[in-house]
Structures are given as C-alpha cells and as structure tokens.
Structure 1
Amino acid sequence: MKIVIIGGTGLIGSKTAERLRKRGHEVIAAAPNTGVNTITGEGLAGALENAEVVLDLANSPSFEDKAVLEFFETSGKNLLAAEKIAGVRHHIALSVVGTERLPESGYLRAKLAQENLIRTSGIPYTIVHSTQFMEFLSGIAQSGTVGDTVHLSPAFVQPIASDDVADAMTDVALGQPQNGIVEISGPQRVKLNELIGRYLQKMNDPRKVVADPDARYFGARLETNSLVSDKSPRLGSITFEQWFAVTAQQEKKINMAAS
C-alpha cells in the first residue's frame, strides 16, 4: 500500500515512516526538503498519485496567531483538494487533546480550523488527538521562564513519548477510517509544574519551577483537566523515567559538552 506522510522527515513522521516501511508498505516522506510543499502545492500531485492513505503530521514553522492559522488553513485546503483528485481513501491528521477546550490559544484555534476542514472534506478520515510529547518538555520550560524561575500551571498533563505516538499513528494508518477522533496519551498523569520540575532537576538545571494557575500554555489559561483525556485513550507504554533514561540523557550530554 502506498502511504504519504506529510511532514515525513520530522520527529513523528520519520519514526512512523520507518515503522510502515518495515511492514512492507511504500512510504513517501513528503516535506519541503523532499520537494513537496503543501503551502505552494509544489510536488503534491506527484506524491499523492496512487496513494491510498495520507498522514498529515506537518506543523507550522511559526506559532504566531495569524501565521499559524494561515498555515493550517492553506496547507489543509491544498492537501485535501489534491487528495480528492488522487482518490485517497483515508486522511489522517495528528492534533492535540484539549483543542476544543482552549479557544484562547491561537495555535489550538488553528488546529481546530484544520480539523473542521477535514470533517467537511468528504474524504474518510481519522483525527488523532495526542497529549503533549515528552520531547517538548524543554521547550515548555523555556516558554515559562522568567529570570531564574519557570512559571507553569499546576494543571494535569499526561505526556507521551514520540515512539508511542509513532506506534499509534502506524496502527491508525493501517486501520479503517473512524470518521471521528481517536485519543492517545502517555501512561502517567502528573501536574505540569511538577513534571517540569522533575525534568529540570534531572537535567541539573538550576531554574526553580513556580506553580502559577494564571500561567499561559500556548496563550491559554488551563483548567485542571484541559490537557488530559478521560475518554479511554490509547495509552503509551513508555514512562517519563524510561524516556529520560534514553532520550533526555542524550540531550543532557550534548548540553554538558557545549558548556
């Protein structure tokens, strides 16, 4: 089966492509650096020719409100139109748990716009809502940093490792369209401020984390369960400790070598 992955050279895309190829499928890793651009349309028709499944894993290069909305609307319209012409039978998009609950966030408003385009496209689809990736913990800490402190909400998160996300996306790609939402999540629920505190401590980072209920997350104030799912999500198997022992330790070594 021919499967096209938009954003196929990124973190989740490359891991998903590897898994699908190992199962014997033809995979096109589509991205601007491979000659496929969903914003301009460059290379899109050729990449989608004879494709049965498309996974949209692309992300906006800018999180500024106007730019991110334009990215997901333009990319989504171009991609879905090209898929109709090519006769694609299953469109899959990776989105975020809590998208519909956080309208204050420009990024999540843009993801919701993308989802609405998919729902009204007429193409059989599955939207995968994921909790936050463990690989983004450093960026979350940086976003809340003020001087030598990190201000973060005490709302719950349930972070998931990118390998678990790729496993889920692989299974969805080889399954039937749900014409609805599938949710995936990490195995452990913890408060965001406590998780980042543990992460920074393990990284020997001296910044102190402050629990701040008014701290913004992608522009939105969080309620206790804004970023977690109680809809029986598919749970990943990799815990924070297991992930840190492999992935984050590599980052730690790089930081120490650069210092």
Structure 2
Amino acid sequence: MKIVVIGGSGRIGTKLVANLRQEDCRVFEASRRDGVDTVSGAGLAQVLEDTDIVVDVSNSPTLTGEAPLRFFEASGRNLMAAGRAAGVRHHIALSIVGSDRLAAIDYFRAKQLQEAMIEASGIPYTIVRSTQFFEFIRDVVQDGTTRDIPISPALVQPIAGEDVADALADATFGDPRNGRIEIAGPEQFHLDWVAAEIATALEDNRRVVADVHARYFGAELQERSLLPGPDAYLASSRFEDWLREELQPEWAAARTR
C-alpha cells in the first residue's frame, strides 16, 4: 500500500510520517521541499502515481487575509484532480473544529472551502477536525507583545500534536467515513488560563490578559466557539503531560547553551 502525506515535513506531518512508517506500507512525504507544490500542481502527478491513500496536513503559509483562501482553493483543486486521475481510494484531510461556526474568520472560511471541495470530489474521504494544538497555543503566547499577551478567555479543549498524528494514522488504516470526525483533548480550560500556564512554564514574565475582545484570527470568540461536539474522540494526553514532555526538555537544552 502506498500512502502520500501532503505537508509531510510540517509539525503534524513529520509525526504522522514517523507513525505510518512503523507499518508495512510505503510512505512518501510530499512538500515543496520534496519538489511537490500543490498550489502550482508541480510534481503532484508523479508523487501520486499508484497511490492508494492521500493524507493532507498541509497549511497556508499565511493564516490571515485572502491568502488562506487562495492557498486552499488552488491546492484543493489540484489535489482532487490529481487524486482522481491516480485512482486514489481514500483522501484524508486535517481540518478544524468550529470552522462552520466561525465563518467570519478568513482562515476558517478557507478550511470550509477545502472541506467542500473534498466532499464534491467523488473520492472516498475522511475529514478529521481537530481542536487547537497545545503547540499552537504556545506559538500564540510567544507572539504576544513585549509587555502583555492579550488572549480570549473562551473555552478550549486542546490536544497534543502527537495525538493528532495518532488519530490521522488511525483514519489512514480505517475505511473512508465520507464524512467528518472530531478529535479533542480530554480536558476543557479557558484559553487565557492555558496561555498563562505555558508562559509560566517558559519562564516568560509577560502578563497574560484575559480579554473577551481579543482577536482570534481577526475575530472575537464566543465562550464555546472552539469546543467539539459530544461525539468527539477524546485523546489521552493531558495538559500537564504535554507540559512535562514537550516543554521541559526545551528548558534543559536552553540552560546548557
């Protein structure tokens, strides 16, 4: 069985490729680094030749404005056409919990378009909608201002990137759902509390400011905008597990430099 991971060199892609390569199948990374550009279509026909399963974890380089829409429209069009031509039997894509509730956000609207193109492609598919990654919240913390980190107090149910990769691997070896599944972490928190805990763990002395008007990809959040539905698959990694396993090694490395 041949599996192609689109965006295989990214944050989730590298974890997913490592997981899939533990099984008895051929796994190929496909990214611009590997000579495959889904936006232009360059290299797609070649890498998808004789491919059984495509897993798309690629992302727009820019997350605001019209750039995500342009990226997912072009990438989706080329991927679907190349997948049909190659006879792909299962197309799996990583998407976001809440994308249909936050249509005012350009990035979420682009993800809705991506999902719609997959659904209309005629290729058997599974869309895996994930809640926010702990790693993404860490990035938000690190991108704060020099003094304060304003962030929404909306509820979140964040998930570890490793658990996202595990769920995608499970979907890869399962039958096409021809629908969506949701995945989330096992615990709910207020987003500002998670950010404050991460800032403390990073020994970041800036102040996390809970602000209901703080923008999330350019829009305000309601309290439950980012929460999954009642049937979501819940991963096992807890927030304190992720803090210990992901952040503490970074502190140790930093202190030895």
- TM > 0.5: yes
Aligned to 1:141: 141
Q: Calculate the TM-score normalised by the size of structure 2.
A: 0.96
CA distance in 2, matches of 1:228, 1:182: 14
| Residues paired across the two proteins, number | 257
Find out whether 1:216 has 2:215 as its counterpart. Answer: yes
CA distance in 2, matches of 1:103, 1:86: 33
Find out whether 1:18 has 2:22 as its counterpart. Answer: no
Aligned to 1:67: 67
What SS class does the counterpart of residue 118 from structure 2 fall into? helix
CA distance in 1, matches of 2:38, 2:87: 17
- Give the counterpart letter for 1:184 in structure 2: I
- Give the counterpart letter for 1:59 in structure 2: N
CA distance in 2, matches of 1:200, 1:189: 18
Shift of 1:3: 0.6
Aligned to 2:8: 8
User: After superposition, where does 1:118-133 map in structure 2 within 5 Å?
Assistant: 118-133=118-133
CA distance in 1, matches of 2:63, 2:150: 20
Asked if 2 retains the 8 angstrom alpha-carbon contact of 1:94 and 1:130, the reply is yes
Shift of 1:41: 1.2
Q: Calculate the TM-score normalised by the size of structure 1.
A: 0.95
What SS class does the counterpart of residue 93 from structure 1 fall into? strand
CA distance in 2, matches of 1:64, 1:217: 10
Unaligned runs of 5+ in 1: none
User: After superposition, where does 1:1-259 map in structure 2 within 5 Å?
Assistant: 1-143=1-143, 145-254=144-253, 256=255
Deviations 1:175-217 (A, max 9, x none): 1111111000011110000110111112111111111111111
Report sequence identity in percent. 47
Structure 1 residues 107 and 170 mapped into 2: Cα distance closer, same or farther (>3 Å)?
A: same
Asked if 1 retains the 8 angstrom alpha-carbon contact of 2:182 and 2:229, the reply is no
CA distance in 2, matches of 1:253, 1:101: 40
CA distance in 2, matches of 1:200, 1:67: 30
CA distance in 1, matches of 2:103, 2:242: 31
Deviations 1:156-187 (A, max 9, x none): 11111111111100000011111111000011
Structure 1 residues 51 and 246 mapped into 2: Cα distance closer, same or farther (>3 Å)?
A: same
